[in-house]
Amino acid sequence: MQTNRETVRNEVKLKQASIAVLGLGHVGLPTALGLAELGWNVTGADADPRKIALLRQGQSPFYEPGLQQLLTRHAANPRFRLADSVADAIRSSAVLFVCVGTPQRENGEADLTQVEELARTIAANLNGYKLIVEKSTVPAITGQWVKLTIQRYSRKAGNGSAAQPEFDVASNPEFLQEGKAVDDFFHPDRIVCGVESELARSILSEIYAPLGCPVLFTDVSTAELIKHAANAFLATKISFINMVADLCDSVGADVRRVAEGIGLDPRIGRAFLNAGVGFGGYCFPKDLRAFIRLAEENGADASLLRATEQINESRLDRFVHKVRQALWMIDGKVVGVLGLAFKPGTDDIRESPALRIADDLARRGARLRVYDPKAMENTKSVLPEGDTVTYCADAYGAAEGAHALLVLTEWEEFRNLDLPRIRSLMELPVIVDGRNLLDPDAVRRAGLEYLCMGRQREASAQGLHEILAAAS
């Protein structure tokens, strides 16, 4: 007679095993649909019934390039189904991907309430061997707590006697970037799996085999740490180049050329060396703070990461100072804002530098004309339309009557603006580029004054701005 473990192993090899993805947010939904695309039987579940209802109507609850097309393709596919409850998904599946949220607490640590609640739900619904795979970003040793929680509550629920319940816990951190999550799922540069048994290793190897990319196997705590360390390192690169940009502003150098020069060194690389208004979004700020908290709680020197966070926080004031350089007085001025999402390719405004800057300028008395290709509906709940804020149909509407036009999210359509048309619409021909997105020469040829982050201005753009910067 086959044991539960042997049955699961054989089902995986035949692609008959059912995989549950628990949590259908920015990580869970691309993962669930991606696994279905690879040929696995996938059950999606979420504690939010409104999200499930929307998905059953064939609509993605958020924007992500390629995601709606993937959902449409699998809406009627028997390999992809939506469960009526999280418990139903757990009972019907052998492999459980945990994709719930891990927001930050006020002290910076990760709030693992949803992870703990899900572990207790799994414990109450153990009906055979389960491989529980952490995909949510969690601090090291979370897997140990998940395992202990399931052991405790499964015995309480009667799903086992004094013997250990039949399950494994693994860590499989996600590296899906918002704005390209679907592409990242199908074309990963690496997959990291922390496992505690050969069966868990075998199952995850089979699941990811079609992707044909390197798979790094470690213990569970190491895999958990890899995710936080990766995000903290990338955040540090961004803050480093932003510090260099401030120096470039002072000495008249061009930060883009500096980034190119150091990025050609293969030990450094060019990625994440784009100066601007800093990083935002759900992951980088949260994961950086959680990593700092974890390091300090365990006696590690986190001063480097503290400096990374401090530099990023200073970007808002630095950019607003540039707007003041351009306009002198902000109160009563019309300011066009291009971009509200924290990055292009998403409608996510969580911890968006663009939104924080827009809110700051509104508080200073500016009248904002704003436009974003995808994020305006989300923004209206936190920056309501009214006397001081007008939502526009396109970038040209945002420029109309503006004393300055700000580029705050690097959407590709902003790179290709009709600059002479922009010039004709504006009250004052001033662009302040917080993402160094535009070609300075093209902007100036169109008759616009151009300020940016960490790049030398031409002589024609010096004069008064130089004097005012020195005076301040």
| Residue 339: closest CA among 288, 305, 374, 366 | 374
Q: What is the DSSP string of 204-270?
A: HHHHHGGG---EEEE-HHHHHHHHHHHHHHHHHHHHHHHHHHHHHHHHT--HHHHHHHHHTSTTT-S
> What is the C-alpha radius of gyration for the chain, rounded to an integer number of angstroms?
25
**In the chain, what is the straight-line distance between the N-terminal and C-terminal CA atoms, in Å?**
81
The token pair that represents 224 in the structure block:
């958990």
pLDDT in tens, 100-130: 999 988 888 889 999 999 999 999 999 999 9
The token pair that represents 26 in the structure block:
């920015």
Q: Does residue 471 have a pLDDT over 50?
A: no
User: How far is it, in rounded angstroms, from Cα 417 to Cα 427?
Assistant: 17
Topology of the domain covering 4-218: Rossmann fold (3.40.50)
* Mean of all residue pLDDT scores within the chain: 92
Give me the numbers of helices (H) and strands (E) for the chain, helices first please.
20, 14
Q: 470 vs 92, 178, 311, 320, 322, CA distance in Å? A: 67, 39, 21, 16, 12
φ/ψ (deg, to 5) at 442: -65, -40
What does the pLDDT average to over 368-374?
A: 98
User: How far is it, in rounded angstroms, from Cα 220 to Cα 222?
Assistant: 6
User: Catalytic site residues?
Assistant: 283
What does the pLDDT average to over 216-231?
A: 96
According to CATH, the superfamily of the domain at 224-472 is NAD(P)-binding Rossmann-like Domain (3.40.50.720)
Per-residue pLDDT, 462 = 47
Q: Are the folds of 4-218 and 224-472 the same?
A: yes
> What are the residue boundaries of the structural domains of the chain, listed by start?
4-218, 224-472
pLDDT in tens, 255-268: 999 999 999 999 99
pLDDT in tens, 136-147: 999 999 999 999
Confidence band of 239 (pLDDT split at 50, 70, 90): very high
Confidence band of 322 (pLDDT split at 50, 70, 90): very high
Q: Is 427 exposed, middle or buried (0-12, 13-18, 19+ CB in 10 A)?
A: middle
CA dihedral 225→228→229→234, nearest 10 degrees, is: 160
Confidence band of 313 (pLDDT split at 50, 70, 90): very high
User: How far is it, in rounded angstroms, from Cα 190 to Cα 184?
Assistant: 10
pLDDT in tens, 55-80: 999 999 999 999 999 999 998 889 99
